[in-house]
């Protein structure tokens, strides 16, 4: 488990990370999101003892990184896949890492196999594609068979097959009870991968929530409702619209059906109960979650450092 308490980092007048307090739990994948410059890398660097906090603490299983006895066996990390000697073969790079941490060489071959680089292990890393660099970086993170994995943009540069592989890998690691903390700009992928999300903007915590809750609570989440006939639909719509913060619009329907509406601001359960009280028969009641991309945009609307405008035609 990773524990952050009031974690803060200032660079002169810039507050890179501003009082983060949260727990990143074992046995699940926690996604870490935020616009560029939000403070994600700085947070990860402080957890890994590479940046010193201005205030607050970052602990791994209750201890600061610097006081871990066998750091590489306790925490595996990938921050910058390209930060390695380009002239060295991939296998030698991992062997050097293994030797300096008391890890047997046989483990190097194991992780090379796991990440799919066994056949190119003797090639210079400098000749690798970005995707291969990422796989090598992940191999390095897995080397010590650590309980905690911290991965910054691990799927950057991977092809769809590689992206899926990372998803399966981190989900399997979490299923074994490990702590996985990863950032990514690929929202649809994050939605499939993470159990929980931590979102920051301008260094501050914007959300720390299970994925399902975050998607369900979004203003973009909706419920599709179909009644037996148009009169019922009208009666139900009128009652729903009598409440503030509720919208009900005709559902887009290619067949021109008129018995369906899209409701926002009420859950499927609340709508079902209301219909029951009014004696209205429902033929369909279907919750539609927001996409993570929509929720993320809503959350970070006021936190983007480099905002762009969509030009009107
Ligand atoms: P992210 O990883 O979310 O893109 P960073 O953690 O890299 O964000 O940066 C957070 C903020 O801190 C940014 O405004 C960045 O410019 C600033 N920053 C990061 N590192 C330094 C540094 N060494 N010196 C000055 N400012 C920094």
For residue 216, CA distances in Å to 187, 248, 287, 291, 294 come to 16, 17, 9, 10, 12
How far apart, in whole angstroms, are the C-alpha atoms of residue 176 and residue 174? 5
Quote the percentage of the chain above a pLDDT of 70: 96
Q: Which one of 37, 151, 153, 181 would you pick to mutate in the ligand 1 pocket, going by the greatest count of ligand atoms within 8 A of its CB? A: 37
> Mean of the per-residue pLDDT values for the chain?
92
Quote the percentage of the chain above a pLDDT of 90: 78
CB of 38 closer than 6 angstroms to any ligand 1 atom: yes
Find the 39 Cα to ligand 1 centroid distance in Å.
Answer: 6
The tens digit of pLDDT for each residue in 31-87 reads 999 999 999 999 999 999 999 999 999 999 999 999 999 999 999 999 988 787 888
The tens digit of pLDDT for each residue in 163-221 reads 999 999 999 999 999 999 999 989 999 999 999 999 999 999 999 999 988 888 787 88
How far apart, in whole angstroms, are the C-alpha atoms of residue 108 and residue 91? 7
CB of 64 closer than 6 angstroms to any ligand 1 atom: no
Q: pTM surpassing 0.85? A: yes
Q: Which one of 11, 31, 198, 206 would you pick to mutate in the ligand 1 pocket, going by the greatest count of ligand atoms within 8 A of its CB? A: 11
pLDDT of amino acid 207: 95
pLDDT of amino acid 98: 95
Residue nearest to atom 12 of ligand 1 (CA): 16
Q: Which one of 42, 45, 183, 198 would you pick to mutate in the ligand 1 pocket, going by the greatest count of ligand atoms within 8 A of its CB? A: 42
């Amino acid at each position: 488990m990773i524990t952050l308490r009031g974690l803060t980092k200032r660079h002169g007048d810039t507050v890179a990370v501003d009082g983060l307090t949260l727990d990143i739990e074992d046995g699940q994948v926690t996604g870490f999101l935020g616009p560029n410059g939000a403070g994600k890398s700085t947070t990860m660097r402080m957890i890994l003892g590479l940046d010193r906090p201005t205030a607050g603490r970052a602990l791994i299983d209750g201890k600061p990184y610097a006081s871990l006895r066998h750091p590489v066996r306790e925490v595996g990390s990938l921050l910058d896949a390209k930060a390695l000697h380009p002239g060295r073969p991939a296998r030698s790079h991992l062997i050097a890492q293994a030797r300096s941490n008391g890890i047997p060489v046989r483990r190097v071959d194991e992780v090379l196999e796991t990440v799919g680089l066994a056949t190119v292990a003797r090639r210079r890393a400098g000749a690798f594609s970005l995707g291969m660099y990422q796989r090598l970086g992940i191999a390095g993170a897995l080397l010590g068979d650590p309980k905690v994995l911290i991965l910054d943009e691990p799927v950057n540069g991977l092809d769809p097959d590689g992206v899926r592989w990372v998803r399966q890998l981190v989900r399997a690691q979490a299923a074994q009870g490990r702590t996985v903390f990863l950032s990514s700009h690929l929202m649809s992928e994050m939605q499939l991968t993470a159990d929980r999300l931590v979102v920051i903007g301008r260094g501050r915590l914007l959300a720390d929530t299970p994925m399902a809750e975050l998607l369900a609570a979004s203003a973009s989440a909706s419920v599709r409702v179909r009644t037996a006939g148009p009169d019922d639909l009208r009666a139900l719509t009128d009652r729903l619209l009598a409440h503030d913060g509720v919208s009900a619009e005709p559902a887009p329907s290619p067949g021109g059906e008129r018995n369906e509406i899209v409701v926002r601001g009420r859950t499927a359960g609340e709508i079902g109960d209301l219909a029951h009280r009014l004696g209205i028969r429902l033929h369909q009641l279907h919750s539609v979650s927001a996409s993570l991309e929509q929720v993320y945009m809503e959350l970070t609307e006021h936190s983007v450092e480099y905002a762009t405008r969509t030009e009107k035609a």
